[in-house]
Amino acid sequence: MRQFQPPAIAEADLVAEPLPRARTIPSAWYVDPRFHDADREWIFARTWQGMAHAAQVAEPGQYATETIAGEPVIVVRGKDGILRAFYNVCRHRGGPLALEPEGCVNALQCKYHGWTYLLDGSLRGVPAMDHTELFDKKDFGLRPVQVQEWQGLVFVNLDPGAPPLAEFMAGIAEQIAPMRLDRLRFVRRVDYAVACNWKVYVDNFLEGYHVPYVHPELAKLYDYRQYVTTPYRWYSLQHSPLTGDNLYSRDGGGEAFYYCIFPNFMLNILPGRLQTNYVLPDGHDRCRVIFQYFHDEADEARVEADVAYSDAVQAEDAEICARVQQGLASRAYDTGRFSVRYEAGVHHFQELVREAYRVGSRVEGRESRVSSSTLDP
């Protein structure tokens, strides 16, 4: 069992404030390595995390793997057609069941000692265990993980008591109708390594304040007079009409919908296309951003143009986010203020981080008191 030592957090830093009066979260929450563990335990282990797209696990035996909150996880389509998720950990001595990001199998076999599991997680084969006493295979099935699908995207949640995924996504399908994301075709995945804390990257995604200064070409694509950010319970939406005939518009117009679902999943919805972004921490000062591209038609030239444009924007974002990470570590900075006009999404996200820290620190405090009391003579 992983040991977690929660960081000390001042009560004043956990107080929620309305946007006009709020201060940004403290710089330590971005640069202190102890908050990397806090994020993993208090946020990533308790929220819905993007795992795959439905095409990866459409057929019986197809699987996808990922590391979620430091835990190896596998999703697999059973022979009965049901999608299941498990810890990618053999119950014998912790070996891995799958090593590749995705594949197709008839059964899941541990790569360490060959224990074999059916696709429903039940233990079937146990080499050289015939002399082991009081051993029943029924007691050693794979540990399950919550898994749900939404609009062709697959999510998992390590918290068995977490609210359903539909609660986090409530209203999005209606807002983007008649477009349906599950009818788009997956065309490309691109991974980016960014030298910043994952929260820096999410902060950056959540506001158009920086766009004229960091992305001058991108700024030409949107009508910023009508650029609006709307916070909901678990996500925020940045919405803007597109200007004229450009890379993203269709028939001389269209709309852009940019969703950020707490804590680290983005939907960039544009006419006839979707980009999804998963922001995964790789440490307290670096993260990995997984871009997946979906289109409504098989137009390779359009796909290539989309990816090339996105590459250029990502290079600009990676550069500024790395610089911000350096600035947050400076002795000259601790907290800042928000632009009410442009940073409602950042404020909403940071308040959700505060909420997660409040809940997590209280739970850890109760568990610590219980543990201490059990040791008292």
Residue 185's beta-bridge partner residues? 295
SS3 state of residue 298: coil
**Residues 6+ away with beta carbon under 8 Å from 37:** 4, 5, 6, 7
State the pLDDT at residue 364: 59
Per-residue pLDDT of the chain (377 residues; tens, 9 = 90+): 567 888 999 999 999 999 999 999 999 999 999 999 999 999 999 999 999 999 999 999 999 999 999 999 999 999 999 999 999 999 999 999 999 999 999 999 999 999 999 999 999 989 888 888 788 888 999 999 999 999 999 999 999 999 999 999 999 999 999 989 999 999 999 999 999 999 999 999 999 899 889 998 887 877 777 889 999 999 999 998 888 777 777 776 788 999 999 999 999 999 889 999 999 999 999 999 999 999 987 778 888 988 999 999 999 999 999 999 999 999 999 999 999 999 999 999 999 999 999 999 886 554 433 333 333 33
What is the pLDDT at residue 363?
67
Rounded Cα–Cα distance for residues 7 and 193 (Å):
26
φ/ψ of residue 65, rounded to 5: -125, 155
Say what the pLDDT of residue 82 is.
98
Distances, alpha carbon 81 to alpha carbons 59, 61, 77, 268, in Å? 8, 9, 6, 30
Pairing assessment for the beta strands 62-68 and 108-109 based on DSSP bridges: unpaired
CB contact set of 213 (below 8 Å; sequence gap of 6+): none
DSSP string for residues in 93-152: TS--S--SSEEE-SSEE-TTT--EE-TTS-EEE-TT-TT-TT--GGGGPPPEEEEEEETT
For residue 365, what pLDDT is reported?
A: 55
What are 182's two structure tokens? 């599950």
Give residue 373's pLDDT.
Answer: 34
Q: Which region holds residue 82: left if phi is over 0, alpha if psi is between -120 and 50, else beta?
A: beta
Quick one: pLDDT at residue 375?
38
Please answer whether residues 197 and 323 qualify as being in contact, where contact means their C-beta atoms are separated by less than 8 angstroms: no
Q: What is the spatial distance between Cα 96 and Cα 173, in angstroms, rounded to a whole number?
A: 37
Cβ(156)–Cβ(49) below 8 Å = yes
Q: In one letter, which amino acid is 346? A: V
Sequence-distant (6+) residues with CB within 8 A of 285 are 31, 195, 196, 197, 325
